[in-house]
Structure 1
Amino acid sequence: MNEPTPLIPTAPVIRTVEPGDMPAIAALYADAVRTGTASFETEPPDDAEMAIRMARLISGGFPYLVAEDPRQGVLGYAYAGPYRTRPAYRWTVENSVYVRPETQGRGIGRALLSAIVHESERRGFRQMVAVIGDSANAASIGLHAALGFRLVGTLEAVGFKHGRWLDTVLMQRPLGEAAIRAPGDAD
């Protein structure tokens, strides 16, 4: 008797976020807020608040992507948003990447971060900053380093969550022409 052929896992599709993705994104983020240290929020926002945040980013011209498997739904999401709100920072973005815990370590975070870097470059942004919660988050630090981010500093004991003080690791990566040309200069 022949053994059944195991299903070959397929790579997730990376695509632009859609409004219907919000319940899955909000649930994923809520779990990260409640159990992790990637976010320094302590109370998860509801679906409506998450939808407002998404709309604000999209209307501001920032990329917001999801990784989706046809059988499992949304596996993770990533976006780039303003690093700071003052006008001189407008060419610098901060990234965020969240992946469902049961799918971590399968390259989904890498695919999402690669896509966010590419989309940010395509949109003319010049620098990307990663603000990584918890200096013990070796997976996120390693992922960013593998994609060309360099460590630029650690802010020690700046957040208190889950009964302990947390550091923030700052990493940075140039995008596109980076600091070579002024924004808007002809190529």
Structure 2
Amino acid sequence: MANSENPTVLIVPGLRDHVAEHWQTLLAERLSKVHTVPPLEVDRLSCAARVEALQCALDAIDGPVILVAHSAGVMMVAHWAQRYSRPIVGALLAAPADVESPFPEGYPGTAVLEENGWLPIPRRPLPFPSIVAASSNDPLGDFERVAQMARDWGSVLVNEGQVGHLNPASGYGEWPRAMELITQLAE
């Protein structure tokens, strides 16, 4: 990295926001230079409101930034990159939620996501280095579709194997590999 200053990690949670035992929350507790996009009080399903919250969080950070997004947070980053411009060191995009495909029961439907501005998924290359960490059995993102998103975004695809949605429901609180991937982005 050209800038010798250590980057700040900005955590970009998915639609369920902050979950105490989630790897993003646990990661944030271990890092010294970290911010998290705060949860929304209103318009919780609005993609535009989520993108604005991401931009506001970035505005509060001076210096280099690495984005660490999970699930719908990945889509927030993709939408943000279409609207805003700021130097980003890199982005770890973990378990992207394929908002164009039906989700299992208990999650927002495609029609709800479409009316709230999530569709279509932006497919232009991201203007910063990125790593997509994907699961081969994610109920919210078919591996082949996620692999295509990674190609479209110009991201490095990392197959994490059968890790579900890489969340507490899939057995993941700690995810040590996240630090390894963040370190790769910072180099």
- One fold, TM greater than 0.5? no
Considering only CA atoms, is the larger Rg found in Structure 1 or Structure 2? Answer: 1
If asked which structure has higher relative contact order (CA below 8 Å, sep 6+), I would say: 2
With the length of structure 1 as denominator, give the TM-score of the two structures.
0.32
